[in-house]
Amino acid sequence: NLQQLQNDLQTEADALLKSTLRSGSIQQHLQDYLEQRKAVGAAQETVDTWKNCEQKCQLQRQRKAELDQQLNQTHCELTRLQRIESASAPIDRWKTRKQKLQLLSHVPHLEDDFARRTNELLLELKTGQMQTSGATAELAKIAAQLESMIVPQAILAAYEAIEALRDRVGGIRKSLVDRPAVEARCRDCESEAQELMRELDRSPDLSTIEELRLPRDKTVKIRSLGTQLQRQFERLQAQRKNCEQLQLNISSSEQRLAVQPVACDLTALRASLRAIQLQGDVQTELIQAEADRAKLQHQVELALKKLPLFTGQLTELECLPLPSPVSLDRFEAEFSKADHQLESLSRTLADEEQQRDALSAQLSQLESGQAVLTLVELDRMRQLRQQGWQLLVATWKSNTADDKMLHDYLKNFSDSRDLFSAYQHAVLEADRIADTLRTDADRVATKAKLHSDLAQITSRLAKRQAELLQAQSQRTDIEHRWQALWSPTGIAPLAPDEMQDWLRQLDQLSQQLRQLRQLESDCEHKKRQLAELTQRLLQMREAMEPANADKSSPPASPDKTEQPVLLELTQWVDDKLNELTSQVSRHEQWSEQLCDDRNKLAAAQSEFV
């Protein structure tokens, strides 16, 4: 690899020139360097040789492509023939079976259970044939009997009379069968009739029974009188029992009225109790409200613990100067726009860097195979050639040369030690570069285009980087303003969308707090209402105690430190009022019942008499 060897030599030359400042060492290394350059020059091939090699290589590549294509075609053909060979045996079997199938094409297709159904049908056929043969034999016998039988014509004429006699004979036979049962029933009826005659103090002789038969009207009248007598007797018994019961009821009512106290007026007490009952079960409502308040308090505490970014108390949470939803939406839009711009710039920058790397790789690949010369190098070499020619002319005219200019000129040709060899090298190198530019015009144009594209990409990259820095600065400014918006609350904010969720959680917590405050207010109201109702019930109890001193004692008054049992007091007052009302009602009912019983007793006695 000549290019690699030249690069290695250049690296070694730079290392030698920079390693030490001693002139002897530099001279020795320069001597070695010149020898190596001569060896490289001897090893280099001409442009024509390289061009011929390139053409041969291109021809060989084309030949290789053609051979590869032929090889692929041959391989495809071989694969097709192998498939045909492997499929020949199944094809032969298929043809053989197809021929056999064509021979059997006239045979009908039978179902799977054809044999079973055939056997069953044959068995049924044999059975039917046997039955048919038996029936035929029987019919033949009957026909033979009919043919051998001779019936007189007179008997055939009396066919209807014979049928009627046969029916009568059947009826007689049936009567003979039923006669013993009928005779037994007749004997039973005679025995019952004789028993009835004896009960009527008559002779058991049944011959005189018709003399005892009454007319129909008398029979009906006797039955009617018997029925009336029975009803009158039952009514008499009922009236006697009713009189006895009425006498007992009168005695009981008189005893109850004697011990019944005088009822007091309960209208005012019942109206007060009704007003209290209309207010509902205040104590149960209070207990339920306190349970709901405790439950909601627990939920609020849990929600406060789960609420991120805040570690204060509920009172502090209610007083937080939170930003408005409009501000959050505006910042969310700004953040989204800035992030989208940053993402777009980053993506564009990455694409352009990728394009730059691709162009650099193409340029490196183009330069790695063989150095691509440019017009700049050609102009430089022509300038060196012209400068050498001027030095030669000046030396030829004056027979002397400027040492400084000569030394500076020889620096450009390290392998030349005098002006003539340096000038010759400049002429040859300029011609070589010109020839190379003519032969490698496409490569030169490609290299120039790659350099131009690379410069444009580099310029765009610098512009995009500046835009990216500006977008990052704007994003940082938005972040600072976002932090400043939340600084009065003492909360380190997250992203706007996350803070929207946080505000929604805070709103739910605030609603729960408002519900908690409302429940606390309801509990206080229920407590005051309960105390008022309890006081009224205690006053009603004190008013009712003198009238019920002998009854069951009311529930004890609650202590001042204990909660009043409103339900028990209400129930006790209601029971006492119901009891008093019941007593008044019973007193009135007993008085009315006593009057009714006395009237009924007088009516029953008069009717009984």
Tell me: the pLDDT tens digits for 67-104? 989 998 998 888 888 888 777 777 888 888 888 878 87
Correct CATH for 314-504 of 1.10.287, 1.20.1280, 3.40.50, 3.30.2010: 1.10.287
219: part of which helix (H) or strand (E)? helix 216-259
Classify residue 107 by its DSSP letter: S
pLDDT tens track for 338-364: 888 888 888 888 888 888 888 788 777
**Of 565, 509, 49, 594, nearest to 314 (Cα)?**
509
One-letter identity of residue 55: Q
**Of 362, 364, 377, nearest to 437 (Cα)?**
377
pLDDT band per the 50, 70, 90 thresholds, residue 570: low
Contacts of 384 (CB under 8 A, 6+ apart): 409, 412, 426, 430
Mean pLDDT of the 214-228 span? 78
d(CA 485, CA 321) in angstroms, rounded, equals: 10
Neighbouring C-beta atoms of residue 605, cutoff 10 Å: 12
pLDDT band per the 50, 70, 90 thresholds, residue 597: low
Neighbouring C-beta atoms of residue 447, cutoff 10 Å: 19
Classify residue 204 by its DSSP letter: S
What Å distances lie between residue 342 and 23, 336, 459, 495, 499, CA to CA? 58, 10, 19, 16, 22
Taking 70 as the threshold, does the pLDDT of residue 165 lie above it? yes
> Over the range 586-602, which residues count as b (16 or more CB within 10 Å of their CB) and which as e?
ebeebeebbeebeebbe
pLDDT band per the 50, 70, 90 thresholds, residue 216: confident
Cβ proximity of 69 and 450 under 8 Å: no
Q: Domain residue spans in the chain?
A: 1-9+20-73, 154-196, 246-311+505-608, 314-504
Residue 90 is predicted with a pLDDT of 79
Cβ proximity of 454 and 359 under 8 Å: yes
Whose structure tokens read 């204990």?
A: 562
Taking 60 as the threshold, does the pLDDT of residue 372 lie above it? no
d(CA 123, CA 350) in angstroms, rounded, equals: 93
Record the tokens describing residue 471, joined without a space.
Answer: 């977008």
Cβ proximity of 300 and 314 under 8 Å: yes
| Average of per-residue pLDDT values in the chain | 75
Record the tokens describing residue 478, joined without a space.
Answer: 């938005």
Taking 80 as the threshold, does the pLDDT of residue 205 lie above it? no
**Of 3, 17, 26, 37, nearest to 421 (Cα)?**
37
Q: Mean pLDDT lowest for which of 219-228, 481-490, 522-531, 546-555?
A: 546-555
Give me the count of residues in the chain: 609
Residue 208 is predicted with a pLDDT of 72
pLDDT tens track for 8-61: 777 776 666 554 444 556 667 767 777 877 777 676 666 677 788 888 888 888
pLDDT tens track for 390-411: 888 887 777 666 777 877 787 8
**Which one is predicted more confidently, 190 or 150?**
190
3-state DSSP assignment of residue 584: helix
- Burial-class residue 343 by CB neighbours within 10 Å (0-12, 13-18, 19+): exposed
Taking 70 as the threshold, does the pLDDT of residue 197 lie above it? yes
d(CA 47, CA 58) in angstroms, rounded, equals: 16
Residue 562 is predicted with a pLDDT of 37
Record the tokens describing residue 23, joined without a space.
Answer: 């002139």
The model carries a pTM of: 0.33
pLDDT band per the 50, 70, 90 thresholds, residue 557: very low
d(CA 565, CA 322) in angstroms, rounded, equals: 47
> Over the range 52-81, which residues count as b (16 or more CB within 10 Å of their CB) and which as e?
eeeeeeeeeeeeeeeeeeeeeeeeeeeeee
Cβ proximity of 3 and 368 under 8 Å: yes
